Amino acid sequence: MAKKKAPKKGTKGKGKAPLPEPEQQEPEQQEPPNERDLTIDGNPVDHSPITGQDTPEAELPEGYRLLQPSRCPISSPLAYKQRNYRPRILGQASDAVQQLWARLADSVIGNERDSAIGRIQGMQEGEAAVYWRDEPEPSKNQDSADASGPTRLPVVVRSHRLIRVNFNVPNSEDASASSAPEPVVLYRLNTRELNQNRRNYGWFLRIAHGDVVRINGVDYTNDRADNVEIVGPLLSFNYIEIADQAVFFWGGSEGAQYQYKRGTQDPTLSAVPQNQSDTAVTNTTITLGEYAVPAQPSGTLKRPQKLELPKSRPPPSDIISPDESPCAFYRSQLGLVKTRLSVKIFKDGKEPRWSKPGAFMRDDEILLSIASLLLLLAQNMDIRSGFNAVSSHVSSILNSIDAIRDPPEGVEFRRALRPGRPMLVPIFLDQHIVLVVIQMGADRSITADVLDSRRHHYTANMRTTIYNRVCNLIQWTKWHIAPSTGSEPAPELPREIFWAPAAQQPNGWGCGYHTVCNAWAIALGLEINEAFQATEDFYRDARELFILATGGNANYRLIYGFLRCHEFVIATSNIPINRQTQGNTVSIASEHELDGVVAEMLADSDDSDVTYASLDRTVNTNFPEGLSHAERFPHDSHDEGMKQHLIDLGIYDPNDDGHDVKRKYWDDLLQDPCSYYRSRVDQIRADIQSAMKNEKKHTYQITNGALGLEDVIGGIASVTEAITSYQQAQNPNDLTPPGFAHATQQMSEMAQIGRGTGMDLAAYRVSRPRQPWLYPYIFSEKPPKGGRAGAHILLYVFQQEGERVGFYRLDSDPNNKATRPENRPRHDRDALRNARDFVTWDQWGNDRLKYPDKQATPIPVPQQPGGTNSCGVHSVLNAWAVALGLEINPSPKKALKCGDVSDQEDARWLVNAALAGAVGWADIYAFLACKDYVVRTSRVPANRQFDHAQRQGATRGRDVELDGYPERIETQRVFDQSLADNGVELVANMENNVDFEKWGSKKRKADDGGEAGPSKKKKKDNKDKNRK
């Protein structure tokens, strides 16, 4: 029977009794009728809880329940004027509520919206206003109705009323008029006779036996014939749903401007239950009739102890029986699938090519897993409903562009598969993956919510990149343009996207698993469990299920069982009937197949008559309110190394600010850097793997045992560029902020070739002149020829010291035959000449600094074992220590024996990690401190504590040539040149300088024979001094 069904979401009512515009003049206020003399359809109806017979001492009769309604979870349509607020106001309200809300909010003809505001705000005490889709025309007294025409203004009522649903067309042939729900009675309590301090005065709804009425998103059902249920008082603004119709109710003049704020949400408010009805109610209208209340019947009085709060009553699921556990159900469904396949597909040799367990999922695996279910739903749901699956072609280009822009030249994009319906798209950025859900409300406003399983991962700039990609996706695919738009303008792009609460991954590689499960849960209409804790079993089962799904071997029952078994969704979540589709997921074994399926479905779609108004909004998801991408997140002041360490310890709180994190972190890192470093190895390894998976952006990596000059330059730049970017972000208004100078070996070589030929050498100058330059250099018995040729690599440091140039040498093997004392002056001279004459490190406009006329000052550093080729590794480590502001320990207790296979591999692996952008300052510090390479009392200044090293690209393959680094240098150099040409003064900024004086190096003579390390005679003294 229709009267036993919950309010339907999304059924299109086509009532034929609209309510016309009432007369403009206000009728005289009438006294409410005598409550004792009123009847409903001539029959007496129990009314005692809310009549004039009630007094402060009165008690509810036996069998009565007075239920307190939840606060309305949407704002009044008269409270806002700006369209971009509406999606957050409406949330997951039903289609009828959204359309009614948009209708009143968008009323502009004859200032109807303003008239509605004035009418409600002008109500007297005890009056209320009612508004619905097909309101009948009120007569001059405005309390009676006829059906002569439509209106857009609320009707003001002053006495009890009937809210009746009229079914003009029965559901089926055997349906009769008696199957319609009983009228819902809207009572008005006579406030003059009651104590105002008792909150049982005002307006109430009486729920008839067998009816289900939804008030503010919560169902109220009167299951027993001998019960009387009264819901109230209805204060301020409320919405009521009966069958597929919505009614707005304002219980006071202040209701017009009612604004819902999630922070003060009533804890009893439940999500709108899913409709499980399989019969559609059509052509329904609502009428407002008079109601007469009969005399009070006799009864046994019984005072309730307290108001009963409404309880969420989601319809029972027919997927899992009450006597079966979710995990047992899942195992049984999985067994059916494997039996049907007649093969153990996960035995050796049978498993499809897939990422190994315990590792990052590949981008294509995530895309295909999500699409396998979305395409199934799109094939089986109505053309006005369903979801969008993103093709591989769109995804690959989308994730390669960071700014809002037109599509790349020559690239064409197909239209979105289901314009205006939810688009679930994984976005890949910085070795991490998130799910973005793009939706359109009934008023055509667009929202985008991000489900991020590693919420603290993205910086503010990265969140802006995600926003930019969302805007690109909407425009490129024309998702926001309905197939049949007529003259309607395209909706505006969202001004912000929101990070919704989501379950967090416990490791560094699980983001892909969470992204797929988030997408599946949303597509099936399930509520995600934000407190979900992933286990090894979860990842194992998920991987197996993803392979089944992309092979076309999973159905909604199997997926639902998996999500329920592992508690990824809450236990009361149920799949709506229209998403319990027949058949299995779509088989898509490759990105090429995905693109083909999407193209074929698009070609077969006959949606030319689909308009904005006809789109099914019931598939939209109501996300809890989150933070805008443009807001400051608490973790923005955190450091990635700190965060990961505290996560490993189980004490990380993303709501801590940076100072709280540092306080928790520093003591442990300083006391036991080795433990910290070991705890980070797995995460670093996973991040390297993720970077290397990107076939479109090659990552520079070292493939040979020894580091060549190009390897050393890239390894140093990965840290110095990261610090420079970090300091630039901290000084956004400074045209010449602190940082480091950068140059490539090719720049130096080209400047040498062009010198004296008339060539303009400005193109080969360093970027950020006069900032410290950490310059790796190859020494050989012949002049450097570049490339990997050369006998020995060491590090020079140039820095501005007043009006002079500081010139220092850090050499891990000063006794190397290529750098023996008789060759050292020539090499120092060549390095100095390169800085001064070729890349002109000190030049700003026409101003120059004074260079020293002597050899470089040697700085004691750890010595590489004799006969090894680890000078490149030592040069990188020395440069890192200098860049981080750490004092190098020339005589470490745990000497870094890079000649040993284990230590050589550890150091080389860490350089590769930096080249992949997979380490932060804390990881490098922990390694150096663990190896005793730096003095343990030295600290990394706060303005050098970068989150991630700068990833270094490669032109092709892995180790052919650095890609991107020369372009970044050129961009900064052009900017520097424009500042100098425009007369901008370069203020000496020496905060990144190294105070070598504290290292005791300047007490040594520059021409002392060349041993950079401490002599045997002074070794003990220097060691003691360094400890101090």
β-strands 228-231, 64-67 pairing: parallel
For the segment 603-622, what is each residue's pLDDT rounded down to a tens digit?
A: 887 777 788 888 888 899 98
Range with top average pLDDT, 158-162, 644-648, 796-800, 916-920:
796-800
Q: Which residue has the higher pLDDT, 120 or 517?
A: 517
| Range 921-957 burial, b when 16+ CB lie within 10 A, else e | bbbbbbbbbbbbbbbbebebeebbbbbbbbbbbbeee
Residues facing residue 806 across a β-bridge = 799
Cα–Cα distance measured from residue 278 to residue 286, given in angstroms and rounded to the nearest whole number: 22
Q: Note the pLDDT of residue 748.
A: 67
669 close to 660: Cβ distance less than 8 angstroms: no
Residue closest to 484 by CA, chosen among 420, 542, 533: 420
| Segment (H or E) for 451 | strand 446-451
Average pLDDT of the chain to the nearest whole number: 74
Q: Are 413 and 600 in contact (CB under 8 A)?
A: no
Q: Say what the pLDDT of residue 470 is.
A: 96
Burial code (b: 16+ CB inside 10 Å, e: under 16) for 133-150 equals bbbbbbeeebbebebeee
HEC readout, 796-862: EEEEEECCEEEEEEECCCCCCHHHCCCCHHHHHHHHHHHHHHHCCCCCECCECCECCCCCCEEECCC
Strands 498-500 and 446-451: parallel
What's residue 478's pLDDT? 92
Largest CA distance in the chain: 120
pLDDT band for position 718 (cuts 50, 70, 90):
very high
Q: Which residue has the higher pLDDT, 701 or 350?
A: 701
Buried b (16+ CB within 10 A) or exposed e, 390-416: bbbbbbbbbbeeeeeeebeeeeebbeb
* 227 pLDDT higher than 70: yes
Mean pLDDT value of segment 151-155: 72
Express as a percent the part of the chain with pLDDT over 70.
67
- Of 111-120, 509-518, 995-1004, which range is least confident? 995-1004
Q: Going by C-beta distance under 8 Å and a sequence separation of 6 or more, which residues neighbour residue 412? A: none
The β-bridge relationship of strands 423-428 and 284-290 is unpaired
- Locate the domains of the chain by residue range: 2-18+33-273+284-290, 326-342+360-628, 672-1023
Task: Express each pLDDT in 738-758 by its tens digit.
Answer: 899 998 877 766 766 655 555
Burial class (CB in 10 A: 0-12, 13-18, 19+), 254: middle
* DSSP-derived 3-state class of residue 580: coil
Contact 814, 858 (CB under 8 A): yes
Phi, psi of 326 (to 5 degrees): -55, -40
Q: Is 879's pLDDT higher than 90?
A: yes
Asked if residue 233 has a cis previous peptide bond (ω within 30° of 0), the answer is yes
Give the pLDDT confidence score for residue 662 in this predicted structure. 56
Decide if pLDDT at 899 tops 50: no
**Lookup: tokens for 508:** 């560094």
Burial class (CB in 10 A: 0-12, 13-18, 19+), 109: exposed
Instruction: Answer whether 494's CB lies under 8 Å from 437's CB.
Output: no
Higher pLDDT, 791 or 448: 448
Burial 580-590 (b: 16+ CB within 10 A, else e): bbeebbbebee
| Residue 881 Cα to chain centre, angstroms | 35
pLDDT digits (tens, 9 = 90+) for 654-694: 666 555 555 555 556 667 888 878 877 877 887 787 677 65
Predicted pLDDT of residue 575: 92
How are strands ordered across the β-sheet holding 857-859?
A: 773-779, 792-801, 804-810, 857-859
Instruction: Give residue for tokens 């197939």.
Output: 483
Phi, psi of 859 (to 5 degrees): -115, 125
Whole-structure pTM value? 0.42
Q: Indicate the SS3 state at residue 440.
A: strand
Nearest-angstrom CA–CA distance, 423 and 467? 15
What was the pLDDT predicted at 550? 93
**CA 44/CA 725 separation, integer angstroms:** 79
Once rounded to an integer, what is the mean pLDDT over residues 31-36?
35
Q: In 121-201, which ranges are E strands?
A: 128-132, 137-138, 145-146, 155-157, 161-167, 184-188
Residue type, 903: D
Q: Which two tokens stand for residue 768?
A: 């950020």
Q: Per-residue DSSP letters for 861-904?
A: -PPPPTT---HHHHHHHHHHHHHTTPPB-SS-SS---TTSHHHH
* pLDDT for the residue 758: 59
In the block, residue with structure tokens 């040594």: 1004
φ and ψ at residue 762, rounded to 5 degrees: -60, -30
End-to-end Cα distance, the chain: 88
pLDDT grade, residue 393 (50/70/90)?
A: confident
